[in-house]
Amino acid sequence: MSKKGYWMAMVDVRDPDTYKKYIEANAAAFSKYGARFLVRSGQYFNPEGPTGNRHVIIEFDSYETALACYRSPEYQEALKYRLPASEARIVIVEGA
């Protein structure tokens, strides 16, 4: 049985209107790969320095699925909106 995979992201959104287009566009990839949002924005406290103004944790059935989603044509198309609208720190990790 493979371990779950996770995307963890800390994002500074600079252009909310364009970022909304990214959110609309990424739905195709996330649906296709069975993504489950565990954290999506909301209240936060950053006791050790800046972490962005949007925080996201997404769960996938496996690490391989998490990687496949990121590499998919659907997600790469959505990136065209996120990259100019924000600065992000994203890591894809295997669960415990």
Per-residue model confidence as pLDDT tens digits over 77-89 = 999 999 999 999 9
Judge contact between 7 and 66, C-beta under 8 A. Answer: yes
Rounded CA gap, 44 and 78, in Å?
26
11: confidence class by pLDDT, cuts 50, 70, 90: very high
Per-residue pLDDT tens for 15-65? 999 999 999 999 999 999 999 999 998 899 999 998 999 999 999 999 999
List Cα–Cα distances, 28 to 35, 40, 46, 61, in angstroms.
10, 17, 31, 17
DSSP string, 11-50: EEES-HHHHHHHHHHHHHHHHHTT-EEEEES-----TTS-
Asked whether the predicted pLDDT for residue 1 surpasses 90, the reply is: no
